[in-house]
Amino acid sequence: MTNELRLNCDAIDCTPITIDWSEELGEDMEGWRAFEAFTCDECGRVVVASSLGENECRDLLNEITVTEEDGSEGEERNQCRCTINAEGPMMNYWYPVKLDDCEEAAKLIAHLPLCVVEFEDGRTGLALTGGGMNLSWEICEAFIALGYWPPVHFCDLPEMGGRGKSDKDRATMEACMESCRIQEGWTARKRERVLLQMAKLGPVVVCEECGKANRHHHSCSKYDHDKRNDVLS
């Protein structure tokens, strides 16, 4: 799976940002917009609501593509009056990620309990439209669907509800492994640069047992390791 995917690395370090949607930005979505996609229960089409509350399918999707008797395609007015209720973000977090077309991005995650949010300053990201349990699986799936390696923050996937057994879940786990591998590479390179800086100040010995860098002529002592293990336990 990871050999086939060619995803963007920009969201690997993404972490949740706390926000109070109503108190900080106003109940009428002042300063921000939510793009929430739904599959209409009546016509089966994917529609996107960018305003909270009840909407009719025909108002969210004005024109639909139809196939004529001769096989050609044409446009006609959407007559579906199914009511769709958009509630927007339900949890006081959002996950920043660059999205060029918020409406199209919302369509890609219509099957997941997330919506796309856009702020008036141009920032974009994702927010949960449901809660009550650990939704790390769904969050990772959303980032993958939008073309990003999933954030490592969410890669500790819970074993619950039978998750982790399907081919789709295996693909998600493989993507999480790749995110972790990429981040480990970044961390290793940063560590090497710090070691080079430390070396300019004097001899540096890297302990073979724990990997700690010591600005001494000796490695860690057994006392150092015992003390560290006591803290970790």
Is residue 179 a part of any domain in this protein?
no
pLDDT digits (tens, 9 = 90+) for 65-123: 766 666 666 688 888 989 999 989 999 999 999 999 999 999 999 999 999 999 989 99
What SS3 state is found at 36? strand
One domain for residues 128 and 220:
no
Residue 2 pLDDT > 60: no
One domain for residues 139 and 33:
yes
Distance CA 201, CA 197 (A): 7
Distance CA 220, CA 206 (A): 9
Contact predicate 151/13, CB 8 Å: yes
Is residue 5 a part of any domain in this protein?
no
Is residue 224 a part of any domain in this protein?
yes
One domain for residues 227 and 136:
no
Q: Is the dihedral of CA 212, 214, 219, 222 positive or negative?
A: negative
DSSP 129-169: S--SS--HHHHHHHHHHTTBPPPGGG-S----TTTT-SHHH
Is residue 50 a part of any domain in this protein?
yes
**Domains held by the chain: number:** 2
Is residue 89 a part of any domain in this protein?
yes
Is residue 2 a part of any domain in this protein?
no
Distance CA 156, CA 137 (A): 9
pLDDT digits (tens, 9 = 90+) for 8-50: 999 999 999 999 887 765 656 678 899 999 999 999 999 999 8
Predicted TM-score of the model (pTM): 0.80
One domain for residues 213 and 124:
no
pLDDT of residue 71: 64
User: Which domain, by its residues, includes 139?
Assistant: 17-65+72-146
